[in-house]
């Protein structure tokens, strides 16, 4: 029984890492793209990074996503 809990915890940790990495990539690419257009306002770049969070959230809400969406096991 304890082994089952450990396996589930380890799987959740791997999924959390995948979600975090996906969010980081989306946030970084949004902020970098905006910076490359010439925007250097930190508030604007921060908001772009924050909105990068929406991509992984939308993926999580998608029932057909098998990575870490609601359709994942």
Residues 21-72 have pLDDT tens digits of 888 888 899 899 999 999 999 999 999 888 888 877 787 787 777 776 666 6
Is residue 70 domain-resident?
A: no
**What's the token pair of residue 38?**
């010439």
Q: pTM higher than 0.85, yes or no?
A: no
Q: Which domain holds residue 55?
A: 2-61
Q: What is the pLDDT of residue 19?
A: 77
In a domain, 26, yes or no: yes
CA 8, CA 37: separation in Å to the nearest integer? 44
Q: Report the alpha-carbon distance of residue 47 to residue 42 in Å, rounded.
A: 8
Per-residue confidence (pLDDT) for residue 43, from 0 to 100? 94
- How far is Cα 58 from Cα 11, in angstroms, rounded to an integer? 21
Tell the residue number behind the tokens 């990539």, with chain if given. 25
Nearest Cα to 56, choosing from 36, 45, 70?
70
25 in a structural domain: yes
């Amino acid at each position: 029984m304890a082994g089952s809990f450990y396996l589930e915890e380890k799987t959740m940790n791997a999924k959390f890492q995948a979600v975090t990495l996906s969010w980081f990539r989306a946030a970084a690419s949004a902020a970098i793209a905006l910076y490359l257009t010439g925007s250097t306002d930190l508030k604007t770049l921060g908001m772009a990074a924050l909105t990068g969070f929406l991509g992984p959230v939308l993926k999580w809400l998608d029932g057909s996503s098998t990575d870490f969406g609601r359709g994942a096991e």
